[in-house]
Amino acid sequence: MAASRPSRSVSARDISIGCERLDGAGSWDTLEWTKIEPVTRSVSHANFEFLLEAERVLDEGHGVVLVNTDEAGTLFVTNFRLLFLSDGTRNIVPLGTIPLATIEKFNKMVVKIQSTSRNTNKSSSRRLLQIIGKDMRIIVFCFRPRTKQRRAIFDALSRCTKPERIWDLYAFTCGPSKFCNLSPKVRLLNEYFRLLGKGFHHASMRMIEDGSFTMSNDSWRISDINFNYSLCQSYPFALLVPKSVSDDEIIQASNFRARSRVPAVSWCNPETGAVLARSSQPLVGIMNTRSTADEKLVAALCAQLSDEKDSRRKLYIADARPRKNALANGAMGGGSESSSNYFQSEIVFFGIDNIHAMRESFARFRDYLDTHGAASSDGMSSFLRHGGWTWGGGNLSSMSASVSTLGDSGWLIHVQSVLAGSAWIAARVALESAAVLVHCSDGWDRTSQLVSLANLMLDPYYRTFTGFQALVEKDWLAFGHPFSDRVGMPSISGSSFELSRNASSTGSFSSSPLRQSSGSSQASNSSHAQNNYSPIFLQWVDCVSQLLRIYPFAFEFSSNFLVDFLDCVLSCRFGNFLCNRKVVESVFNPFLPGAVCLFLLSFHFTRSLDL
């Protein structure tokens, strides 16, 4: 990420608890643990000003050392986060504080340390608790011996970090938000109105209820074909489609796209007619099947050029996958389009790897940052402890020795591929006034990355606080990026009915998983959830941060906003990012907490700018 957490704590010592330093390397293992006095004072949790609304302490450990920074303090497990409070400053240490939902895994470790005294050959052991976060953090705490505090903290984390039901998340405990905010459906329609050049109209719930939102311009219209999510459960209730294509033709075309995710408009220029659309892969299979309805729908994206009556605009079909992967999908019923079937088209493959490759790359990248970052988990390998200029958390003079490790992670190559693909798409739309259709396999991972980044490059509105919220809600939330799977959250369950990602489909399609809508008939299990975890959205935020570093004055917000925004996403404190599909969010809307993550952050940062 371009921006690190600005408030990370530096090393501090709490003299009041009697910690003494021995002569040594200046690292955490030289603490004389036997001289730490037990903390026996009683603490009133109700008086803790740092607790959020409805947040309560479940367990705590005193005299704990945050190994990353050599800082002693008190470790709390609440119903929302693991919180480290410095004994010296009585302030929260950001590096040692992580929401429970952000914890990927944790484990206990014992490290034996040889005594430095010349008079004894005895060795002592350090009882450690390692926390690995989804936000690239690796945190290590050290506990006093013979106190059983580590076991208590470990047991509390075991109970709270992997809830069986989504209802057990803190977001449902804190209750509805006090901030007034429009419905996501209303905000989506307002964005559609803006794209159609009808921004003077304002959507409302009454407009949605009576169906009067189906407006249009000369080329595009808002369709209510998916109003009840009967066409596609992972698509929004309203779709922006070519005006020349009827709803019946859209239904026919949906049978030719994986999970019924038909080509739909993500962004259009009302002046030039250039358009950016998205979909899932076509179901051509090994028999190279064709669909007249799908070909007509895609061709309708290529309206005539405004200045040339007899000339149609160029159509680019951007397949985010490597070519060999797209061909391999043909054996399972999927595949890619043929330019001979789509008039005046060009097929381009971007070669971006799948979610599994991104997950593995992310793990290697996190190990690199832990070794060379500003506060590494071993407490002593950080280059910053020896001073010097820094870059990305490490010492610039020492970076050459480790740059191969950074390259081996592959993370920056993946980020470069996504950015390059997005820039290519934006260039075709802006410079050629072309029509570009983007898809991968399912159309909700790599497609969301490419389309939303291209939107960000094409439209300066999306680089404002309000526009960024509209962009995320449109291309990530409304178009069904499976946040619950990718972030590793439990599915919505525990009621009289089940609405997990693997619930039975309402569609009447073939038994092929590619023809099913976003619900599959297979039973869910923990290995399935683990296999589908991938930092796709985090990678997209990283791409945005790279653009922000290059063009800082093109954005209304800063990298600090992106860091806080990503924290909100991973923490599951808000209701925006808890579900896989819009149909689930729609059914459970009365129970969801105030889904105002972006609104709240925008309000906070705009106020800070005004001040």
Residues belonging to the binding site for substrate are 354-355, 440-446
Q: 241: which 2 tokens?
A: 């489609």
10 Å Cβ neighbour count for 344?
13
10 Å Cβ neighbour count for 442?
22
Query: Rounded CA gap, 477 and 341, in Å?
Result: 32
Please, is 226 exposed, middle or buried when counting C-beta atoms within 10 Å of its C-beta (0-12, 13-18, 19+)? buried
Instruction: Kindly name the residue from 440, 568, 572, 579 that is annotated as catalytic.
Output: 440
Q: 576: which 2 tokens?
A: 């925006």
- Residue 263's alpha-carbon distances to 183, 391, 600, in angstroms, are 25, 43, 33
Q: 487: which 2 tokens?
A: 């972030």
Contacts of 459 (CB under 8 A, 6+ apart): 267, 467
Contact (Cβ atoms closer than 8 angstroms) between residue 66 and residue 95? yes
Angle value at C-alpha 504, between 500 and 510, nearest 5 degrees = 135
Q: How many residues does this entry show for the chain?
A: 611
Report how far apart the first and last C-alpha atoms of the chain are (Å, whole number): 27
Please give the annotated binding residues, written as ranges.
354-355, 440-446
Establish whether 597 is a catalytic residue. no
Contacts of 352 (CB under 8 A, 6+ apart): 320, 321, 322, 414, 417, 418, 421, 440, 446, 449, 450
**Which are the catalytic amino acids?**
440
